[in-house]
Chains A and B, each alone.
Chain A
């Protein structure tokens, strides 16, 4: 292993930070949208559902490329100077995590919507209480939705490379570091970084699951 341990920790922390921020942004929009779409009384919103499910297959390199053009100094948002920064990676990965969070939330809420509505309405509850109950009753699958979004963000390499640039001490994350070490022929380092990546994903997922079960 040629990489110093301190640098591995730094890279892993950055990976975690970027993916967590991306998941947070995705959840900020995706959770309310998923609940709203899933709770609608009659069918409809089918188009949105199709888009969300298809979005789970968004190719990261294409998302990265779109953000590259948007954020480039010669692009429409070039004035922000965001290309090749962690913030650019957060944005691109949030777009990749968003369909996971919104789509799985939608599916979970829809499966419970009719039963919960009948029950809450029967007890004299309002539509707002229907939504609150739905959110509560769907908390476990919503944790799965968050875990899926986080997994999509942290494991992704195409967009991270294009909008991040794999700059050492700045935008290098675990996945881009694995690519770099492989390119250098340092296969053992690459494999070790891969193991760290799996470890980080495992720990974060475990925390999410325990959190979902306990509440």
Chain B
């Protein structure tokens, strides 16, 4: 028993060689993107990266208490607030894709024929078709609420409006079971497409559906222990042209399109404090 205890404690300290702790969203982690990118970084710099994959809201909350060194999230206005509050510095736009409205192939609300994203939301609302919301303060949830608001609709008290309270993958599975619509990021949708019976019904370049991933270093002036050197090193690595190309190429062969499009640091939506 004692030996097992020792083993347990050793595991806690063995990896303590100044790792970088990255709080991020489930979409970049569960799609396997980080597993494809980070080993190269670790090999070059010797810095191990510890990834905590949660929703954007939780990732920013973790980093905002000084419990992570960097964040990679997808909610530009929340990122701007994080910078404004002095919790983050050195924002960089890493990649983008688009949000997709997925739903049953039968498409009872005729979302596929909608002229715009707002029109699609209005059609779902008018049809009273089941819609699964993340309900979890994630970047996707944030966008979904913004879409309802922009469409002038309030779905909260509607009987067809369901909140899953779980990650994107689980929410897609729930939507498939319930034959419901849901808003998803393209990356997770493509990655899950073969595992759930849902059609990508509204999947078009639309400024309202733009999904941009931003990286920030947690402010080392605010939290003295932050591994800022490593956080800046990863920032530089992710912005490097060859790594950006690797991001764009990730799983492109399998799906015939990029899960994540490189931005080379040039934001589609400006994130200003």
Interface residues of A (CB under 8 A from B): 13-14, 16-18, 20-21, 24-25, 72-75, 78, 81, 83-87, 90, 165-170, 180, 182-185, 187
B30 touches A74 (CB 8 A): no
B15 touches A170 (CB 8 A): yes
The residue on A at minimum CB distance from B7 is: A17
Q: How far is the CB of B106 from chain A (nearest CB, A)?
A: 22
Cβ contacts A to B, 15 pairs, < 8 Å: A13-B7, A21-B4, A21-B8, A24-B1, A72-B66, A72-B67, A73-B67, A74-B66, A167-B21, A168-B50, A182-B170, A184-B169, A184-B192, A185-B196, A187-B195
Measured between beta carbons, the chain B residues less than 8 angstroms from A170 are 15, 19, 50
B12 an interface residue at 8 Å Cβ cutoff? yes
Residue among A83, A84, A182, A183 with most chain B CB within 10 A: A183
A18 touches B167 (CB 8 A): no
Q: Residue-by-residue, is B1-40 near A (CB-CB < 8 Å gives 1, otherwise 0)?
A: 1101101110110010001010000100010000000000
Measured between beta carbons, the chain A residues less than 8 angstroms from B191 are 184-185
Q: How far is the CB of A26 from chain B (nearest CB, A)?
A: 12
B12 touches A183 (CB 8 A): no
B225 an interface residue at 8 Å Cβ cutoff? yes
B12 touches A87 (CB 8 A): yes
Measured between beta carbons, the chain B residues less than 8 angstroms from A74 are 65-67
Contact residues, B183-209 vs A (CB, 8 A): 191-192, 195-196
Residue among A21, A74, A182, A187 with most chain B CB within 10 A: A21
Using A24-B2, A73-B225 as known contacts, say yes or no to A185 and B66 having CB atoms under 8 A apart.
no
Give CA–CA (A86, B2) in the complex, Å.
Answer: 16
B30 touches A184 (CB 8 A): yes
Which residue of A73, A86, A168 contacts B223 across the interface (Cβ within 8 Å)? Answer: A73
A16 touches B67 (CB 8 A): no
